[in-house]
Structure 1
Amino acid sequence: MAGSFSFVRRVYLTLYNWIVFAGWAQVLYFAVKTLKETGHENVYEAVEKPLQLAQTAAVLEILHGLVGLVRSPVSATLPQIGSRLFLTWGILYSFPEVQSHFLVASLVISWSITEIIRYSFFGLKEALGFAPSWHLWLRYSSFLVLYPTGITSEVGLIYLALPHIKTSEMYSVRMPNTLNFSFDFFYATILVLAIYVPGSPHMYRYMLGQRKRALSKSKRE
């Protein structure tokens, strides 16, 4: 019984990783192609659908952690995926005013390269039981550059969206209403920005620790 579950788990995670890998490969291809042909102003339009699908699929990774399919702690997975979904749907999709900014290109390129490396690494690990040493190094080293560029792009785009969030009052709930409840998306977004200040260095240190452990273990083996 345990053997059957282990086999099904490996097949499922292999398929999951390679399917999402294909989605991010599309994002990178369309982003680079559009940058070369028509410029950064059109990158979002070119990548919108595959970006939304690939990033939203990551919600399953929270479930994977919760049910024990993977060892990644939910406490680390949840903020990463939550911030990405907030950018994908709460900022880029919701506010067309920021879609043509050059930070969109740097964001999706940083995200897509990171995820192409990550999903192919875990796809190989699940399918074959191992990944090449160069792939391991890339998996735990590429963030040294791509995390700062990605975070800078995220913060920049949220900041650029703030005036449009304020004037549009999108997603805000005003009183009086039947639920006797109010919510201001503008101030919620400012709170998200504030969380980036301590959250980003903390996450970077966490990934540095992961890198040290993974590469040290690789050398011992």
Structure 2
Amino acid sequence: MAAVKRAYLAVYNWAVFFGWAQVLYFAVEALLRSGHEDVYAAVERPLQLAQTAAVLEILHGLVGLVRSPVSATLPQIGSRLFVTWGILWSFPETRTHILVSSLVISWSITEIIRYSFFGTKELFGSAPSSLLWLRYSSFLVMYPTGISSEVGLIYIALQFIKASEKYCIRNSECPTKWNYAFDYFYASILVLLVYVPGSPHMYTYMLGQRNCVRRRLQSQRPRKSSRYVL
């Protein structure tokens, strides 16, 4: 069963890795060819597939396939799915903004490093020091740019959400004893507010992971130096 588990995780990680590599390639190509206005159109389908595939990571954590806590995985994946489907797919007016370019590039670089790191570990039992350094250092830049782009796009979309009233449910539309109302505009504002405590939590979690890896490396190789220092 251990071999089956490793084989499955290796296939999963490398499959999603190639998905994100495709996203980055199409994004850079569109950016250089015609500008940021065409980036979303170039990456829409592979972006949706690669990002939605991350839902399986929540399941992996729930059933114990991986050690990553669901409390850290769920907020990150949930917020990205909200931006992918609830903002960019739902409101085309946001797709030509320059923040889409910074969002897609930040996400894809982060995920290319992350999935190749875990894919290599599943295949060979460990990852090279260069990949380890990238995994636990690149987030210092990629997380702030990615999160800032997410927040910016949600904020930009608010005016279109309010004007369209898409996904809103009024009491008059549900004339039953379970009458309820749902306003997507206020729900989106609530999501923005969640970023206030959520973003520092995720960043602090990654810093903690980075420090743990650093201490482990120092204890394992106290007399050896490495060009890749966390």
Instruction: Compute the TM-score of the two structures, normalised by the length of structure 2.
Output: 0.93
Q: Measure the CA separation in 2 of the matches of 1:119 and 1:219.
A: 25
Residue in structure 2 matched with residue 48 of structure 1 by the alignment? 44
Equivalent residue, structure 1, for 2:134: 138
**Separation in 1, partners of 2:199, 2:191:** 12
Query: What does 1:95-134 correspond to in 2, within 5 Å?
Result: 95-134=91-130
SS of the residue 2:170 aligns to: coil
Q: Which runs of 5+ in 2 are unaligned?
A: 221-230
Q: CA RMSD in A?
A: 0.7
* Matched ranges for 1:117-196 at <5 A: 117-176=113-172, 177=174, 178=176, 179-196=178-195
Preserved contact between residue 28 and residue 112 of structure 1 (Cα < 8 Å): yes
Q: Is the 8 A contact 1:14 1:123 kept in 2?
A: yes
Aligned mates of 1:38, 1:162 — CA distance in 2: 27
Q: For residue 71 of structure 1, what is the aligned residue in structure 2?
A: 67
Bigger drift between 116-125 and 166-175 goes to 166-175
Contact 1:151 1:200 in 2 (8 A): yes
Please identify runs of 4+ aligned residues in structure 1 that moved more than 4 A: none
2:225 maps to which residue?
A: none
1:197 alignment partner in structure 2: 196
Deviation at 1:219, TM superposition (A): 2.8
Post-superposition CA distance 1:43-84 (Å, at most 9, x none): 000000000000000000000000000000001000000000
**1:24 corresponds to which letter in structure 2?**
W
CA deviation after TM superposition for structure 1 residue 198, in Å: 1.5
Give the residue type in structure 1 aligned to 2:193. A
Q: Does 1:24 align with 2:20?
A: yes
Offset of 1:220 from its aligned partner? 2.3
Determine what percentage of the aligned residue pairs are the same residue. 72
How many positions carry a matched residue from both structures? 217
Tell me the CA shift for residue 158 of structure 1: 0.3
Amino acid at match of 1:194: L
Whether 2:58 is the aligned partner of 1:62: answer: yes
Q: Which runs of 5+ in 1 are unaligned?
A: none
Whole-Å separation in 2 of the counterparts to 1:215 and 1:147: 20
Whole-angstrom distance in 1 between the partners of 2:93 and 2:84: 14
